[in-house]
Homo-oligomer: A and B are copies of this chain.
Amino acid sequence: MKQSAISPELVKSIPLFSGLTEQERDGLLKEGRIRSWRRGQLLFRCGDAVACFYLVTAGVVQLYRENPHGKQKTLDVLEPGQTLCADEIMDACRTHRANALAMEDTVAMEFTQAWLKDAARRHGAFALNLLSLIAQRARLAELEAEHQASMSAAQLVACFLQRLCVLHELDPRGFTLPYSKTLIASRLGMELETFSRALAKLKEQGITVAGTHVIIDDLTRIERYTCGSCSVSDACATHGALEKRTQDKQARA
Protein backbone atom coordinates (compact mmCIF):
# COMPACT_ATOMS: atom_id res chain seq x y z
CA MET A 1 0.00 0.00 0.00
CA LYS A 2 2.04 2.86 -1.35
CA GLN A 3 -0.36 5.70 -0.96
CA SER A 4 -2.00 6.32 2.34
CA ALA A 5 -5.18 8.25 2.95
CA ILE A 6 -3.70 9.74 6.05
CA SER A 7 -0.70 12.00 6.30
CA PRO A 8 2.23 10.99 8.53
CA GLU A 9 1.89 14.18 10.58
CA LEU A 10 -1.74 13.50 11.34
CA VAL A 11 -0.93 9.92 12.33
CA LYS A 12 1.73 11.07 14.74
CA SER A 13 -0.59 13.59 16.33
CA ILE A 14 -3.18 10.96 17.23
CA PRO A 15 -2.87 10.15 20.94
CA LEU A 16 -4.46 6.76 20.47
CA PHE A 17 -1.26 5.39 18.91
CA SER A 18 1.25 7.00 21.20
CA GLY A 19 3.55 4.58 22.96
CA LEU A 20 3.36 2.07 20.12
CA THR A 21 6.28 1.36 17.83
CA GLU A 22 5.90 2.54 14.25
CA GLN A 23 5.65 -1.06 13.15
CA GLU A 24 2.86 -1.79 15.57
CA ARG A 25 1.05 1.37 14.61
CA ASP A 26 1.35 0.86 10.88
CA GLY A 27 0.39 -2.76 11.27
CA LEU A 28 -2.80 -1.68 12.98
CA LEU A 29 -3.50 1.12 10.53
CA LYS A 30 -3.18 -0.99 7.45
CA GLU A 31 -6.15 -3.07 8.55
CA GLY A 32 -8.37 -0.06 8.11
CA ARG A 33 -10.46 0.55 5.06
CA ILE A 34 -10.61 3.99 3.51
CA ARG A 35 -14.05 5.37 2.83
CA SER A 36 -15.42 8.70 1.70
CA TRP A 37 -18.76 10.41 2.11
CA ARG A 38 -20.13 13.39 0.25
CA ARG A 39 -21.28 16.42 2.14
CA GLY A 40 -24.76 15.71 3.47
CA GLN A 41 -24.38 11.93 3.61
CA LEU A 42 -24.79 9.97 6.81
CA LEU A 43 -21.94 7.78 8.05
CA PHE A 44 -24.48 5.99 10.16
CA ARG A 45 -27.86 6.54 11.60
CA CYS A 46 -29.15 6.51 15.14
CA GLY A 47 -30.52 3.08 15.93
CA ASP A 48 -28.37 1.25 13.37
CA ALA A 49 -26.32 -1.64 14.63
CA VAL A 50 -22.84 -0.53 15.63
CA ALA A 51 -20.50 -1.89 12.98
CA CYS A 52 -17.25 0.02 12.84
CA PHE A 53 -14.73 2.22 14.52
CA TYR A 54 -13.86 5.35 12.51
CA LEU A 55 -10.86 7.61 12.31
CA VAL A 56 -11.65 10.85 10.50
CA THR A 57 -8.86 11.86 8.15
CA ALA A 58 -10.50 14.69 6.22
CA GLY A 59 -13.69 16.70 6.39
CA VAL A 60 -16.07 17.41 9.25
CA VAL A 61 -18.58 15.09 10.90
CA GLN A 62 -21.55 16.20 12.97
CA LEU A 63 -22.87 13.88 15.64
CA TYR A 64 -26.46 14.64 16.50
CA ARG A 65 -29.58 13.07 17.86
CA GLU A 66 -33.21 13.92 17.54
CA ASN A 67 -35.56 13.72 20.44
CA PRO A 68 -39.15 12.50 20.23
CA HIS A 69 -40.45 15.88 19.02
CA GLY A 70 -38.08 15.99 16.07
CA LYS A 71 -35.79 18.48 17.75
CA GLN A 72 -32.16 18.01 16.89
CA LYS A 73 -29.41 18.25 19.44
CA THR A 74 -25.83 18.38 18.22
CA LEU A 75 -23.58 16.28 20.40
CA ASP A 76 -20.25 16.92 18.77
CA VAL A 77 -18.46 18.17 15.69
CA LEU A 78 -15.50 16.01 14.71
CA GLU A 79 -12.45 17.07 12.75
CA PRO A 80 -9.56 15.14 11.21
CA GLY A 81 -7.65 13.08 13.77
CA GLN A 82 -10.71 12.42 15.90
CA THR A 83 -12.42 9.08 16.26
CA LEU A 84 -15.99 7.82 16.35
CA CYS A 85 -17.70 4.97 18.15
CA ALA A 86 -14.98 3.87 20.54
CA ASP A 87 -17.43 4.12 23.43
CA GLU A 88 -20.28 2.55 21.54
CA ILE A 89 -18.11 -0.47 20.73
CA MET A 90 -16.74 -0.98 24.24
CA ASP A 91 -20.12 -0.46 25.79
CA ALA A 92 -22.40 -3.49 25.57
CA CYS A 93 -25.05 -1.46 23.75
CA ARG A 94 -25.29 -2.64 20.18
CA THR A 95 -26.90 0.27 18.39
CA HIS A 96 -25.74 3.76 17.54
CA ARG A 97 -27.01 6.42 19.88
CA ALA A 98 -26.64 9.25 17.39
CA ASN A 99 -26.58 10.13 13.71
CA ALA A 100 -23.24 10.94 12.10
CA LEU A 101 -23.49 13.39 9.24
CA ALA A 102 -20.72 14.49 6.88
CA MET A 103 -20.90 18.28 7.02
CA GLU A 104 -18.23 18.49 4.34
CA ASP A 105 -16.92 15.91 1.94
CA THR A 106 -15.32 13.53 4.39
CA VAL A 107 -12.76 10.73 4.40
CA ALA A 108 -12.36 8.30 7.26
CA MET A 109 -10.65 5.03 7.97
CA GLU A 110 -13.00 2.31 9.01
CA PHE A 111 -12.06 -0.55 11.32
CA THR A 112 -14.00 -3.52 12.56
CA GLN A 113 -15.10 -3.83 16.16
CA ALA A 114 -12.88 -6.86 16.53
CA TRP A 115 -9.92 -4.78 15.39
CA LEU A 116 -10.51 -2.29 18.18
CA LYS A 117 -10.94 -4.94 20.85
CA ASP A 118 -7.96 -6.93 19.66
CA ALA A 119 -5.78 -3.86 19.58
CA ALA A 120 -6.76 -3.11 23.18
CA ARG A 121 -6.19 -6.70 24.22
CA ARG A 122 -2.84 -7.08 22.52
CA HIS A 123 -1.21 -3.73 23.09
CA GLY A 124 -1.20 -2.50 26.65
CA ALA A 125 -0.30 0.99 25.52
CA PHE A 126 -3.19 1.09 23.10
CA ALA A 127 -5.57 -0.06 25.83
CA LEU A 128 -4.43 2.73 28.12
CA ASN A 129 -4.72 5.29 25.35
CA LEU A 130 -8.22 4.13 24.59
CA LEU A 131 -9.16 4.22 28.24
CA SER A 132 -7.82 7.71 28.48
CA LEU A 133 -9.73 8.78 25.39
CA ILE A 134 -13.04 7.44 26.62
CA ALA A 135 -12.53 8.71 30.15
CA GLN A 136 -11.77 12.18 28.87
CA ARG A 137 -14.80 12.24 26.66
CA ALA A 138 -16.88 11.13 29.61
CA ARG A 139 -15.44 13.85 31.80
CA LEU A 140 -16.13 16.54 29.25
CA ALA A 141 -19.68 15.30 28.82
CA GLU A 142 -20.13 15.37 32.57
CA LEU A 143 -18.75 18.88 32.84
CA GLU A 144 -21.04 19.99 30.08
CA ALA A 145 -24.04 18.44 31.77
CA GLU A 146 -23.19 20.29 34.94
CA HIS A 147 -22.84 23.51 33.02
CA GLN A 148 -26.20 23.01 31.37
CA ALA A 149 -27.74 22.52 34.77
CA SER A 150 -26.12 25.36 36.65
CA MET A 151 -25.50 28.13 34.14
CA SER A 152 -27.77 30.54 32.32
CA ALA A 153 -27.93 30.67 28.55
CA ALA A 154 -25.68 33.73 28.48
CA GLN A 155 -23.10 32.01 30.63
CA LEU A 156 -23.14 28.94 28.43
CA VAL A 157 -22.60 31.02 25.34
CA ALA A 158 -19.75 32.95 26.96
CA CYS A 159 -18.08 29.70 27.99
CA PHE A 160 -18.51 28.28 24.54
CA LEU A 161 -17.01 31.30 22.82
CA GLN A 162 -14.04 31.36 25.14
CA ARG A 163 -13.42 27.70 24.68
CA LEU A 164 -13.82 28.01 20.93
CA CYS A 165 -11.25 30.74 20.96
CA VAL A 166 -8.73 28.61 22.81
CA LEU A 167 -9.31 25.28 21.10
CA HIS A 168 -9.28 26.72 17.59
CA GLU A 169 -6.46 29.11 18.41
CA LEU A 170 -8.47 32.12 17.32
CA ASP A 171 -7.49 35.68 18.14
CA PRO A 172 -9.80 36.90 20.92
CA ARG A 173 -9.44 40.46 19.67
CA GLY A 174 -11.42 39.54 16.58
CA PHE A 175 -12.39 36.31 14.87
CA THR A 176 -15.14 34.81 12.75
CA LEU A 177 -17.45 32.09 13.99
CA PRO A 178 -16.44 28.79 12.37
CA TYR A 179 -20.01 27.45 12.53
CA SER A 180 -23.45 28.83 11.84
CA LYS A 181 -25.36 30.22 14.80
CA THR A 182 -28.01 27.60 14.28
CA LEU A 183 -25.41 24.88 14.73
CA ILE A 184 -23.92 26.49 17.81
CA ALA A 185 -27.31 26.91 19.42
CA SER A 186 -28.02 23.26 18.75
CA ARG A 187 -24.65 22.30 20.19
CA LEU A 188 -25.41 24.29 23.34
CA GLY A 189 -28.82 22.68 23.67
CA MET A 190 -30.79 25.88 23.35
CA GLU A 191 -33.16 27.43 20.84
CA LEU A 192 -31.81 29.75 18.20
CA GLU A 193 -33.87 32.61 19.65
CA THR A 194 -32.43 32.07 23.09
CA PHE A 195 -28.94 32.00 21.66
CA SER A 196 -29.56 35.19 19.75
CA ARG A 197 -30.80 36.99 22.85
CA ALA A 198 -27.89 35.66 24.87
CA LEU A 199 -25.44 37.24 22.45
CA ALA A 200 -27.02 40.63 23.07
CA LYS A 201 -26.56 40.26 26.82
CA LEU A 202 -22.90 39.42 26.35
CA LYS A 203 -22.12 42.85 24.95
CA GLU A 204 -22.17 44.23 28.48
CA GLN A 205 -19.79 41.46 29.53
CA GLY A 206 -17.00 42.33 27.16
CA ILE A 207 -17.95 39.90 24.43
CA THR A 208 -19.14 41.66 21.30
CA VAL A 209 -20.79 39.73 18.50
CA ALA A 210 -21.86 41.38 15.28
CA GLY A 211 -22.95 39.04 12.54
CA THR A 212 -20.34 36.31 12.53
CA HIS A 213 -17.62 38.53 13.95
CA VAL A 214 -16.63 38.13 17.59
CA ILE A 215 -14.46 40.22 19.91
CA ILE A 216 -13.60 38.99 23.39
CA ASP A 217 -12.09 41.53 25.75
CA ASP A 218 -10.84 39.37 28.59
CA LEU A 219 -9.55 35.88 28.05
CA THR A 220 -7.30 35.83 31.09
CA ARG A 221 -8.61 32.91 33.03
CA ILE A 222 -9.58 30.71 30.17
CA GLU A 223 -7.06 27.89 30.68
CA ARG A 224 -8.87 26.86 33.80
CA TYR A 225 -11.89 25.93 31.77
CA THR A 226 -10.01 23.80 29.33
CA CYS A 227 -8.35 21.65 31.94
CA GLY A 228 -11.53 21.23 33.93
CA SER A 229 -11.77 21.73 37.64
CA CYS A 230 -13.70 20.90 40.71
CA SER A 231 -15.85 23.98 40.87
CA VAL A 232 -17.74 25.08 37.83
CA SER A 233 -17.23 28.73 38.58
CA ASP A 234 -13.50 28.22 38.86
CA ALA A 235 -13.66 26.44 35.56
CA CYS A 236 -15.24 29.22 33.62
CA ALA A 237 -14.19 32.81 34.00
CA THR A 238 -17.24 34.36 32.48
CA HIS A 239 -19.51 32.21 34.53
CA GLY A 240 -18.28 33.83 37.69
CA ALA A 241 -18.45 37.33 36.27
CA LEU A 242 -22.00 36.97 35.05
CA GLU A 243 -23.00 35.34 38.27
CA LYS A 244 -21.86 38.32 40.27
CA ARG A 245 -23.57 40.72 37.93
CA THR A 246 -26.85 38.90 38.29
CA GLN A 247 -26.59 39.01 42.05
CA ASP A 248 -25.77 42.70 41.93
CA LYS A 249 -28.80 43.32 39.79
CA GLN A 250 -31.00 41.45 42.24
CA ALA A 251 -29.48 43.39 45.11
CA ARG A 252 -30.27 46.68 43.39
CA ALA A 253 -33.88 45.67 42.81
Contact = CB atoms under 8 A, between A and B. Distances in A.
Report the interface size class on chain A. Answer: 35 or more
Contacts of A171: none
A137 interface: yes
A89 B139 CA distance: 11
A178 interface: no
Contacts of A239: 68
Contacts of A91: 132, 135-136, 138-139
Interface residues of chain A: helix, strand, loop or mixed (majority):
helix
Nearest to A46: B230
A90 interface: yes
A45 to B, nearest CB: 9
Contacts of A67: 146, 150, 231-233
A243 interface: yes
Given A90-B131, A131-B134, A230-B96, A150 B46 contact: no
Rank and list the top 10 A-B pairs by shortest CB-CB distance, nearest first.
A121-B124, A138-B138, A127-B127, A91-B135, A68-B233, A90-B135, A47-B230, A145-B145, A90-B131, A87-B135
